[in-house]
Chain A
Amino acid sequence: MRRRTLLLAAAITPLAAGPAHGSDARLKVVASFSILADLARSAAGEHAEVSALAGPDVDPHGFSPSPADARRCAEADVLVMNGHGFDAWMEKLARSGGGKARLVLATQGVATIRVRGGHSHGHGHSHGHSHGHGAVDPHVWQDAARAAQMLRAIGRGLEEARPASAPAIAAQAARAADELLALDRWVAGLFAPIPKEKRRIFTSHDAFAYFGARYGVEFRAPRGVANEGEPSPADLARIIREIRKENAKVVFLENVSSPRVIEQIARESGARVGGRLYSDALSAAGGPAATYQAMMRHNATLMRDAMLA
């Protein structure tokens, strides 16, 4: 509800700016959250105008769609969602919206990782309709190689929605996916010189399992600190003991979760807060993570600096 104003602004601006092409008009694509929207934008190039429901710096976990969001979904040609329980509300919007839009599952066919037993976190949120993620970790985009696959999946959905432009969209999506693969190599190269035992990051939200698996980084996050407000003191104690034991110098905040708990951890453990990692939402335009590629470079650079601290 609180995001409505921002979203309306985000929705109206491209509509007002984009020229109408009559029957040849660009595809209207609505993605569930900002990161998917950026991937869809890269996949579609000039063939679509893309907007996100949960915009920059908005936590998709706690998102509750407004009637205006439902209308945008009803008017869209293609809806893009992540799946694996991350944005289940998108499915409801697609069904209730009248159903002319094609629903594209971005993680279709992308190999997933199971949530580790001890570090699972139910993404409860403040609006009362909590949903668990089930056993699959939904934060697939944190691995750039997998993000390239997601981009291709989105591209295929767009091709099916607009067969006339299919070859052009396919070419555009292939180019964009290649860029993500180059990004993937860049991130891997950034960590390559760092010894395995130094690749350890303490953060407030366990959203980086895919990043960790792909780039050989180990992430530690106190359970419950995610987006839920009330961690247990035993969790805090565990992570503080770990930071002290391993003499870690830096802990990280994330853009979508409350800073207070991680600041407490920093105070207690003697580590310093190393800045903001972007996990589930991009930053606003002009911020350090306004696009997917910028986000990955920003996160990877901050982590590399922390490992070398």
Chain B
Amino acid sequence: MPGPHDLLVAPFAEFAFMRRALVAGVALALGCGPVGVFLLLRRMSLVGDALSHAILPGAAAAFLVAGLSLGAMALGGFAAALLTALAAGALSRVTPLREDATFAVFYLFSLALGVLLVSLGGTGIDLLHVLFGSVLAVDDAALVAIAAVATASMLAMAALHRALVVECFDPDFMRATGGPGAAIHAAFLVLLVANLVAAFLALGTLMAVGLMMVPAAAARFWARGVAGMIAVATAIGAASAYLGLVLSFAADLPSGPSIVLVAGIAYAASVLFGGVGGVVPRILPRPHLRG
């Protein structure tokens, strides 16, 4: 019977790949937490998912040009997703079509283009596996990229925080006071795409958005203010990364899905027991205050 030390500490002490995975996961949680909360508040929860597919054509094009270079493919993916995000965001501002519909069109188009480009490559290696691999295959270059994105993202989110909150809750006020609404929105999309690419480097296509959206959705049940939600989302994301790795090591499960699974369990617990709108606190009668 393994003791708590064997379960919780030993895997990370013995294996560098577990330490790398943990650092990557925590860095991702730090970067993705704030971005996920604002996506949630802006009702753009599925835009992250849509954008994750827009990375494909850029990565594929980079692969055709530069071959099997992780850096080139990440840059290509970043450029393509950014182009998609900015174009869709701009179009939704000047046309009557809502942003979610515009994003859906753009992402399906990108996905189709990406699949076509990948087929031109004609290689047997699954491009997405090579590009995105798994959290256990994070190498030094990918780790540095993830940490850099998380750092830059946190600094930028802090600088933009006030404007983002205003743009989010009262865009009319922002427009009326001549605030740079479009610029703020564009900057936010840049951060979103950067975090998505970083998440891809670590978690793979399916799981990347998981560490962004699931903790943010869970945080909604614990805090009322934006800052509080960001803190809770980041904490849940980091804890999910750690506990997910522990779970996957102990139970012999793939790591990416384990991490998102743990985040999902945290979400379920939040829905049930969260202090802000959770099911159980709402059903239970509130204790009367004594006069």
> A-side interface residues toward B, CB under 8 Å?
1-6, 54-55, 57-59, 62, 125-126, 224, 227, 229-237, 240, 255-261, 263-264, 267-268, 281
Q: With A3-B119, A231-B254 known to touch, is A236 a contact of B17 (CB < 8 Å)?
A: yes
Closest CB of chain A to B214's CB: distance in Å? Answer: 18
Please give, as numbers and ranges, the residues of chain A lying within 8 Å of B126 by CB-CB distance.
Answer: 59, 62, 125-126, 227, 229, 258
A268–B130 alpha-carbon span in the complex (Å) = 19
Are B136 and A264 in contact (CB-based, < 8 A)?
yes
Are A229 and B134 in contact (CB-based, < 8 A)?
yes
Please give, as numbers and ranges, the residues of chain B lying within 8 Å of A267 by CB-CB distance.
Answer: 16, 139
Not counting A227-B126, A232-B253, A234-B251, a sample of 12 additional A-B residue pairs whose C-beta atoms are within 8 angstroms of each other reads A2-B115, A2-B118, A2-B119, A57-B124, A125-B126, A231-B136, A233-B245, A257-B125, A258-B126, A258-B129, A258-B133, A268-B16
Are B254 and A224 in contact (CB-based, < 8 A)?
yes
Q: Which of B11, B21, B120, B257 contacts A5 (CB 8 A)?
A: B120
Number of A-B contacts (CB under 8 A): 118
Please give, as numbers and ranges, the residues of chain A lying within 8 Å of B252 by CB-CB distance.
Answer: 232, 234-235
**In the complex, which of the residues B130, B133, B204 has the most CB atoms of chain A within 10 Å of its own CB atom?**
B133
> B-side interface residues toward A, CB under 8 Å?
11, 14-18, 21, 68, 115, 118-126, 128-130, 133-134, 136-139, 204, 245, 248-257
Are B21 and A229 in contact (CB-based, < 8 A)?
no
A256–B124 alpha-carbon span in the complex (Å) = 6
Please give, as numbers and ranges, the residues of chain A lying within 8 Å of B130 by CB-CB distance.
Answer: 258-260
Q: Which of B17, B133, B254 contacts A268 (CB 8 A)?
A: B17
Are A62 and B128 in contact (CB-based, < 8 A)?
no
A240–B15 alpha-carbon span in the complex (Å) = 9
A232–B257 alpha-carbon span in the complex (Å) = 10
**In the complex, which of the residues B134, B138, B249 has the most CB atoms of chain A within 10 Å of its own CB atom?**
B134
Please give, as numbers and ranges, the residues of chain B lying within 8 Å of A231 by CB-CB distance.
Answer: 134, 136, 254
Are B204 and A2 in contact (CB-based, < 8 A)?
no
Are B255 and A232 in contact (CB-based, < 8 A)?
yes
Closest CB of chain B to A221's CB: distance in Å? Answer: 15
Are B125 and A234 in contact (CB-based, < 8 A)?
no
Please give, as numbers and ranges, the residues of chain A lying within 8 Å of B17 by CB-CB distance.
Answer: 233, 236, 240, 264, 268
Are A230 and B15 in contact (CB-based, < 8 A)?
no
Q: Which of A233, A236, A281 contacts B124 (CB 8 A)?
A: A281
Please give, as numbers and ranges, the residues of chain A lying within 8 Å of B133 by CB-CB distance.
Answer: 229, 258, 260-261
User: Would you mind naming 13 contact pairs between A and B with Cβ atoms under 8 Å apart?
Assistant: A2-B119, A5-B120, A55-B122, A59-B124, A229-B204, A232-B252, A233-B11, A233-B255, A237-B249, A258-B133, A264-B136, A267-B16, A268-B17
Closest CB of chain B to A246's CB: distance in Å? Answer: 17
A32–B133 alpha-carbon span in the complex (Å) = 27
A232–B250 alpha-carbon span in the complex (Å) = 10
Q: With A229-B129, A237-B14 known to touch, is A260 a contact of B122 (CB < 8 Å)?
A: no
Closest CB of chain B to A34's CB: distance in Å? Answer: 10
A6–B122 alpha-carbon span in the complex (Å) = 6
Are A233 and B118 in contact (CB-based, < 8 A)?
no
The chain B residue with its CB closest to the CB of A58 is B124
Are B125 and A258 in contact (CB-based, < 8 A)?
yes
A6–B124 alpha-carbon span in the complex (Å) = 11
Q: With A230-B204, A231-B254, A232-B253 known to touch, is A263 a contact of B137 (CB < 8 Å)?
A: yes
A194–B180 alpha-carbon span in the complex (Å) = 73
Are A260 and B119 in contact (CB-based, < 8 A)?
no
Please give, as numbers and ranges, the residues of chain B lying within 8 Å of A257 by CB-CB distance.
Answer: 125
The chain B residue with its CB closest to the CB of A4 is B119
Are B125 and A256 in contact (CB-based, < 8 A)?
yes
A237–B11 alpha-carbon span in the complex (Å) = 8
Are B123 and A2 in contact (CB-based, < 8 A)?
yes
Closest CB of chain A to B272's CB: distance in Å? Answer: 29
Q: Which of A5, A125, A264, A268 contacts B119 (CB 8 A)?
A: A5
> 3 smallest A-B Cβ distances: which pairs?
A2-B119, A58-B124, A230-B254
A259–B69 alpha-carbon span in the complex (Å) = 12
Are A261 and B125 in contact (CB-based, < 8 A)?
no
Q: Which of B128, B253, B254 contacts A126 (CB 8 A)?
A: B128
Closest CB of chain B to A54's CB: distance in Å? Answer: 7
The chain A residue with its CB closest to the CB of B122 is A6
Please give, as numbers and ranges, the residues of chain B lying within 8 Å of A3 by CB-CB distance.
Answer: 119, 122, 124
Q: Which of B14, B118, B121, B139 contacts A263 (CB 8 A)?
A: B139
The chain A residue with its CB closest to the CB of B126 is A126
**In the complex, which of the residues B68, B126, B130 has the most CB atoms of chain A within 10 Å of its own CB atom?**
B126
Please give, as numbers and ranges, the residues of chain A lying within 8 Å of B125 by CB-CB distance.
Answer: 57, 59, 256-258
Please give, as numbers and ranges, the residues of chain B lying within 8 Å of A55 by CB-CB distance.
Answer: 122
Please give, as numbers and ranges, the residues of chain A lying within 8 Å of B204 by CB-CB distance.
Answer: 229-230
A261–B124 alpha-carbon span in the complex (Å) = 17
